[in-house]
Amino acid sequence: MRSSGRRADAAEHTRKVHIDEIIADNQTGDEDGADPVMPKLTWRLVLNAVLGLGLAAVIIVLLPVVTQTSWEKIGHHLSLVGPRTCLELFGLTVLGLAVYTFTLSAALPGLSHVKASILNVSGSAVSNLLPGGGAVGMASSYLMLRSWGFARRNISTGLIVSGLWNVLFRVALPLAGIAAVSSSTDAMPSLVRRGAWWGGIIGLLLLIGFVVALTRPSWTAWLGGQIDDRFGHLIARLRRGDKKGKPLHVKNMLLDQRARMSTITKRGWFPMSFGVIGQLGIWFLLFWRVMDAVHVNLPVADLFAAYAISRLMTAIPITPGGLGFTEVSAFGILVTWGASPAAATAGVFVFMVFTHLAEIPLGALGWLAWWTSPKAGAARA
């Protein structure tokens, strides 16, 4: 009996989910939990947005003071960015957003590139308006995907995997930046170097944790069992509606998610990597073209290092998308390596316009496209 019990546990731990099963879930639907609703516009949400954007605006307005230059000198370099250059930069912005749809489509089987584009720009716009807006952006993505008929567990799997893929590559980017300037005669500031190394270490730890979660189902089962035993009663009381008081069975849920994440990763690792690396690469091309336009005359390796390390600042939750902090960090690195303060300020300002502000009207178009798109009747607006 004991032997048969162990075999049953092993079979449960090593459960596999085929990709056809994941896609079929979207057609049959699931009934566990309440459907998401459109977040309400509250005074607290508005206040957070105003304070976050206000702080970012103060940081940017004070840039000439910090950089010991003037808006007149900065304006001279801004005037070098003509209409043709603006069109080129906007094209790179759209291309960067488009290539990321490969990541979303691979993480969410059955999601077309058109719908992935709507999802991408809409979520980015929300994240760029609110401090720590990533959570609200994820909620909006959940709402859209439910409205298109995607099953809840497929949505959670897809958002987790695509989010981890983003984090892994973005925190590894600073290490690539350090490698790019390892032979440079210009020393990287020690604080920047330490920050980049820590970013790389965090990325390595995340990668190890992700691999362990996929390859050690017994550990996943143990963790889920511990949560059920120690906190199951509390979780049951916190559930809402008809499910209140009923156990959640975290162990089964984690094992199911592990199996789905394993299937998604094995099938979609290449397009997901292509999407993230492609977007980061196009963003750097945009950064390089901006700096060239405003006459920041530095080697490409130095520009890449400044771009790569400044991308870490986008994770700061104080302002929307790290706005202000990202620009200050990029400026500091560029000037340390010999760029003109006025040209560097103009460059980071233009780059911010195309990678942050431009996504807001594009996101509004994305919300309009979602609003007019056919719905599966799963979500309520």
Separation between Cα atoms, residue 62 and residue 56, nearest integer Å: 10
Summarize pLDDT for 102-132 with one digit per residue, the tens. Answer: 999 999 998 999 999 999 998 888 777 765 5
DSSP 171-231: HHHHHHHHHHTTT-SSPPPHHHHHHHHHHHHHHHHHHHHHHHHHH-HHHHHHHHHHHHHHH
Summarize pLDDT for 348-369 with one digit per residue, the tens. Answer: 889 988 988 888 889 889 999 9
Give residue 378's pLDDT band: very low, low, confident or very high (50, 70, 90).
very low
Cβ neighbour number for residue 145 with a 10 Å cutoff: 28
Whether the predicted pLDDT of 248 surpasses 80:
no
pLDDT for residue 89? 95
Give residue 11's pLDDT band: very low, low, confident or very high (50, 70, 90).
very low
Summarize pLDDT for 33-49 with one digit per residue, the tens. Answer: 445 555 555 666 666 66
Q: Indicate the range of 112-121, 256-265, 333-342 predicted with least confidence.
A: 256-265
Whether the predicted pLDDT of 290 surpasses 70:
yes
Specify the higher pLDDT residue, 183 or 131: 131
78: which 2 tokens? 């801004």
Whether the predicted pLDDT of 133 surpasses 60:
no
pLDDT for residue 96? 94
Mean pLDDT, to the nearest integer, of 237-261? 70
